[in-house]
Structure 1
Amino acid sequence: MARTAGTVILYYGVNETVAALGAINIVLYSWIYTSLKRKTILNTWVGALVGAIPPLMGWASSSSLTDPGAWCLAALLFAWQFPHFNALSHNIAQQYKNAGYVMTAAEYPKLNARVALRYSILMFPICFGLCYFNVTDWGFMLDSSIANFWMTLMAFRFWKQQHINHKPNYRPSEVQITAANIQAKKLFWVSVWQLPAVLILAMLHKRGQWEKIFGYFLHHDKESAKKVLIETI
């Protein structure tokens, strides 16, 4: 009932595109993602789609989804969820397994770390895409790279430790297992700070924003100068 009401409100209160995206997300999360958690590691990719749709809904509320910038924002949220969740799930992998959930961290630890690193690296071209498609200015490319490098470095260290621990016929020591757990925690907390940092930087670097602000003040300064000159004459 609540799901239907929410979709109807979005349809009449915003537009049909936002309502359709909301309905798709309900189906993805409630039915597909939830059922897949006990069947396959692909549930994480479906869950990442659920997290990527809200930016599209926000964009569709005022602009067309034919704009590539909308998909860059969705890709940003999609990619970020892998280093974030894969690091989180590493230290509770056994709990997931005991509960009957099929998670990459429990089934394929090396893949879990590799995917976290892969999507951390993907954050770089996604942020460059926001510049290219005129969502942000080109200064965002530099600023966002600092935050992305921070997370990628932590993801690389996590991957490296997992790669060592899970070599064929190799039994990691307690120290090495603890080291991997620590790297996972570091990556998780860096991801918590990285996403807000990138989004705030994107707002600060919004295309044309500073030109409008400075243009406003310059315009008013000219008007003030004209007024003073007229009064003097």
Structure 2
Amino acid sequence: MFLTLGTTLTSGAANAINMGREHIYDGLMTRTRARPVVRKLITPNDAFAFAGVSGTLGVAALYFGVNPTVALLGGANIALYSGLYTTLKRRSITNTWVGAVVGAVPPLMGWAASSSLSDPGAWFLAGLLYAWQFPHFNALSYSIRDEYRRAGYVMTAWTSPALNARVALRYSIAMFPLCIGLSYFGVTDWVFALDSSIVNGWLTYQAYKFWLEHRNSPKVARHNGQLLDPNYKFSSSSSGSAGSGGASNGFARKLFWGSVIHLPAVLVLAMMHKKGQWDWLFGPDEEEAF
């Protein structure tokens, strides 16, 4: 109860700070213009005040109700998301990699609530959440790349569509060894390594189709978002890259929705194949018996 409550409150604090800092730019994007600060339902200071109360209560719940390690992770994630990640979004494409770390921390919090972070399984689980965010976000951001560009957010979706698709494919492939690692280190049984590969293969196929469409797309800007060609003309419907348009947007949507299905599918499989999950029915494995 304290873990769930504390994680929710710290997550709310990080999001509130982000919305308070970026309300002007959020108003330039369809997906964020309905946020309460943008609509002037509350002021940025209201958002910061909410974050202060929510974050304090959240970290306290984690510290006193769980343990200091989980509280430290929760507090650090507030700073990482609302501080470093939010700042980098308008400065460098590295913001996506930092944001992926933010998404990988909650599994570590859950693990640290009941076991030691020295267990390799904790890091493979966090790695799974880290890697998943790239096919998920890179596909999402590509579909609305012009909005990110106009709002001043530096994303690979518009600065370098080829890199954007390549990274999505690279981390989709990384799902295979990460899932195998969960089996190797005893978090799951070995059947998980097999059936998770089917789900991972499906996601990787979607990422491959996405990459195939954009592998020859020209780079538009540097890592900091500065245009390589100041006279570069963006079309109204795309970032102006080769291969962009309806077909590639279709591949992006397929990859995005594939990622939405993929993550719960893999996690449900991991729970089904958790080591010792079915001992009550089939008895312990021979290795465990001895």
Provide, for residues 153-192 of structure 1, a one-character-per-residue CA deviation record: whole Å limited to 9, x for no partner.
0000000001245499x9747xx63211111110001000
Runs (4+) of structure 1 moved beyond 2 Å? 164-168, 170-173, 212-216
RMSD: 1.8
2:60: which partner in 1? 8
Q: Distance in 1 between matches of 2:131 and 2:218?
A: 25
Are 2:289 and 1:199 aligned? no
Q: Distance in 2 between matches of 1:36 and 1:103?
A: 10
Per residue, is there more helix in 1 or in 2? 1
Q: Distance in 1 between matches of 2:266 and 2:119?
A: 20
How many angstroms does 1:212 deviate by? 2.7
2:116: which partner in 1? 64
**TM-score normalised by structure 2 residue count:** 0.71
Are 2:245 and 1:177 aligned? yes
8 Å CA contact 1:69–1:130 kept in 2: the answer is yes
How many angstroms does 1:24 deviate by? 0.8
Are 2:91 and 1:23 aligned? no
Provide, for residues 11-37 of structure 1, a one-character-per-residue CA deviation record: whole Å limited to 9, x for no partner.
001000000000110010111111110
User: Which residue identity is paired with 2:281?
Assistant: I
- Identity over aligned pairs, percent: 62
Q: How many residue pairs were aligned?
A: 213
2:150: which partner in 1? 98
List alignment gaps of at least 5 residues for structure 1.
217-233
2:211: which partner in 1? 159
8 Å CA contact 2:161–2:219 kept in 1: the answer is no
User: Which residue identity is paired with 2:176?
Assistant: F
1:132: which partner in 2? 184
Q: Distance in 2 between matches of 1:183 and 1:11?
A: 44
2:125: which partner in 1? 73
Report the 3-state secondary structure (helix = DSSP H, G, I; strand = E; otherwise coil) of the residue aligned with 2:278: helix
8 Å CA contact 1:165–1:177 kept in 2: the answer is no
Which one has a bigger Cα radius of gyration? 1
List alignment gaps of at least 5 residues for structure 2.
1-51, 221-239, 285-290
User: Which residue identity is paired with 2:272?
Assistant: L
User: Which residue identity is paired with 1:89?
Assistant: S
